Chain A
Amino acid sequence: MNIELKDIHFSYGPVKALDGVDLSIGEGACGLLGPNGAGKSTLLRILLGFLRPGRGEGRILGRDILHDQFAIRRLVGYMPEDDCLIPGLDAVTFTAYFGELSGMPRQEAMKRAHDVLFYVGLGEARYRLIETYSAGMKQRIKLAQALVHDPKLLFLDEPTSNLDPQGRREVLELIKDISSKKDIQVLISSHILSDIEFTCSNVVILNKGRVAAQGEIQALKQVDYSLYEMKIKGETETFIRSLRQGGCRVEETEEGLLKVYMPPGLQRDGLFRIAARENIQIRHFVRSQTSLEDLFAKTVGVD
């Protein structure tokens, strides 16, 4: 396990931000979700080796969070949500500078800065001043400075904010590529659930200072093995009737989606036989799962 936290508490004066957090994060990219004010930024500060918890213990990449905070910060790369730059610098100098501050020797930092800038897609623009960069480019340079020192834990805070659809896709692909390496633990905090679903295999949902849910997304989504969603083209009414005669429960939503609950006796192929017989086209057919959004809503317990 790359990150293990046991019973973490933290208060800012009288305000309790974390109220007993137990976390276990291992391989694969992990999404960090939670309503605003749930304690995500506090948790982030503890994970970055920035704060000492009031109570509790834990290890991040094998380092003790109470005593080895500096060592943790050496291993962590942080991509902040806000824009941040140093005016008057070009991309290479900027990236190499922060590599140096992380403890890389000067020449190594420079060499690595070039590599990383190419990787994030800023190769051609790397000698230009950062102030002249577009929003998408600024996002990438934040990623570059987080990667320059080859961190073992990468924390991305809203990595796709301010990006247009093309930029979003490219950054998400980059994140997916980085996550595929076995020795980087990637942690992504985002409110855009489709981004989390695309890049992460695991998720942690925080609420009111506690972990409300954690685990593999697929496992949490609770696949219902006998409920299917389908879209068809053809004689809908007759098809639905035939399905019902076969023992299925069928619901039709307003968007034309059919929700079919199959009784234990019936197999999938029975459904397809009925469709073949009645000349029905099946244009969409999936097992029903709770969406990540529903999971979030259920876990956070509102509405």
Chain B
Amino acid sequence: MPISEQGYRHWPGTLVERRRPWAPITRLGVKLAFKRKYFKFVLGLSLLPALIFSVGVYISEKIEDFKFMIRGRSQFLTVDPAYFKAYFTSDFLLFMMVMIMVLAGAGLIADDLKHNSLQLYFARPLRKRDYLLGKMGVLSFFLLLQTLLPGLLFFLLKLIFSGSLKFFAQYPGIPLAVVVDSLVLTVFFGLYTLFISSLGRNRRFVSIMLFLVYIFSDIFFGVFFGIFRRPVFCLLSIKANLQQVGSALFGVSGPYDVPWIYSALILAALAGAAAFVLLRKIRGVEVIR
């Protein structure tokens, strides 16, 4: 045809059924996170422990070589499960994870509620769970970057620098512990963030709540501990619970003299409650008024 059709044109392609319907949501969320002010700086800061611990692995190898020449054994900088536990339960890392959640995740659901975009999502062939999985994907991306990646990296570096698989033979449970603890941290923080994000329409409100709940749970622990001097109150603190579980996974005793299984149960209960409320909140039906 010499002159193509003006005005509205049809699209000749076919719509596909995606294997991963949640993928575009995750991709967009990650892109938007990077656009936020200070995000790259905070992300860099949160990866600092990973850098330091990686260097520590290197030094520990070389120092060991050194120390071998000097007589006497030194416990200085041994890479063992306690080393991994130190990373995964560090106050700084956990706090930075919350910071990342605030920057990348506060608005994930709150913005959609505020700006009415849920009705655009659900007018598509998208299930509730795909939507939530997509949002979780954004958070998982960053959280795994801070947990799974460094954990496996330390393990690999240790093997590489020690030049043998001796470490693996010595502590075969470490890779599994890394994966499980990463999942625990990721799933818990992910659900925590999405849950709070679904409560408010204001991203700023959600950001503040994400901080406050985390910090205050620890403060309550401190207050009750100060009054009653019983370590069982560590169960009130999100941070403490995560540290207990993390330690247990690496086979090291936790910071508090309380069975770690209680911490695990509390975390599971909180996560379960958050998931339950989330599924109820995103009731697609009411979304189109």
Contacts and interface: CB of A to CB of B under 8 A. Distances in A.
Q: Are A and B direct contacts in the complex by CB distance below 8 Å? A: yes
B55 interface: no
A149 B15 CA distance: 8
A136 B15 CA distance: 30
A54 to B, nearest CB: 14
A84 B122 CA distance: 13
A82 B11 CA distance: 27
A117 to B, nearest CB: 12
Contact of A50 (B10, B15, B284): B284
B115 A87 contact: yes
B11 A98 contact: no
Given A73-B124, A83-B116, A97 B11 contact: no
Given A100-B24, A104-B15, A119-B7, A87 B111 contact: yes
Interface stretch (A159-167, A176-184, A190-198, A274-282): A176-184
Interface in B106-134: 107, 111-112, 115-117, 119-126
A82 B117 CA distance: 9
Interface stretch (A23-31, A41-49, A236-244): A41-49
Nearest to B11: A150
B8 interface: yes
- Max chain B C-beta neighbours (<10 A), residue from A71, A81, A100, A177: A100
A74 interface: yes
Given A70-B125, A97-B24, A100-B24, A84 B9 contact: no
Interface in B232-289: 284-285, 288-289
A115 interface: yes
Contact of B288 (A48, A83, A115): A48
Contacts, number: 102
A74 B120 contact: no
B134 to A, nearest CB: 9
A101 B16 CA distance: 10
- Max chain A C-beta neighbours (<10 A), residue from B10, B16, B24: B24
B119 A41 contact: no
A112 interface: yes
B264 to A, nearest CB: 36
Contacts of A181: 8, 10
- Max chain A C-beta neighbours (<10 A), residue from B10, B18, B119, B124: B124
B28 interface: yes
A188 interface: no
Contact of B8 (A71, A81, A93, A119): A119
A80 interface: yes
Contact of B10 (A73, A93, A150): A150
A78 B123 CA distance: 7
A97 B134 CA distance: 13
A76 interface: yes
A252 interface: no
A103 interface: yes
Contacts of B121: 101
Contact of B16 (A73, A82, A105): A105
B35 interface: yes
A299 interface: no
Interface residues of A, number: 45
A302 interface: no
A149 B125 contact: no
A268 to B, nearest CB: 39
A253 to B, nearest CB: 41
B125 A84 contact: no
A251 interface: no
A45 B111 CA distance: 23
Contacts of A119: 7-9
Given A98-B124, A103-B15, A119-B8, A83 B285 contact: no
Contacts of B172: none
Nearest to B288: A45
Nearest to B14: A103
Instruction: Pick the 7 closest A-B CB pairs, nearest first.
Output: A103-B15, A150-B11, A78-B123, A84-B116, A100-B24, A73-B125, A70-B125
Interface of A: 41, 44-45, 48, 50-51, 70-71, 73-74, 76-78, 80-89, 93, 97-98, 100-106, 108, 112, 115, 119, 145, 147, 149-150, 177-178, 181, 183
Interface of B: 7-11, 13, 15-18, 21, 24-25, 28, 32, 35, 107, 111-112, 115-117, 119-126, 284-285, 288-289
10 contacts: A80-B288, A82-B116, A84-B116, A97-B24, A98-B124, A101-B124, A102-B15, A103-B16, A103-B125, A104-B15
Given A41-B289, A104-B15, 15 more contacts: A48-B288, A50-B285, A71-B125, A84-B119, A84-B120, A86-B112, A88-B35, A98-B124, A103-B16, A103-B18, A104-B11, A104-B13, A105-B13, A112-B11, A150-B11
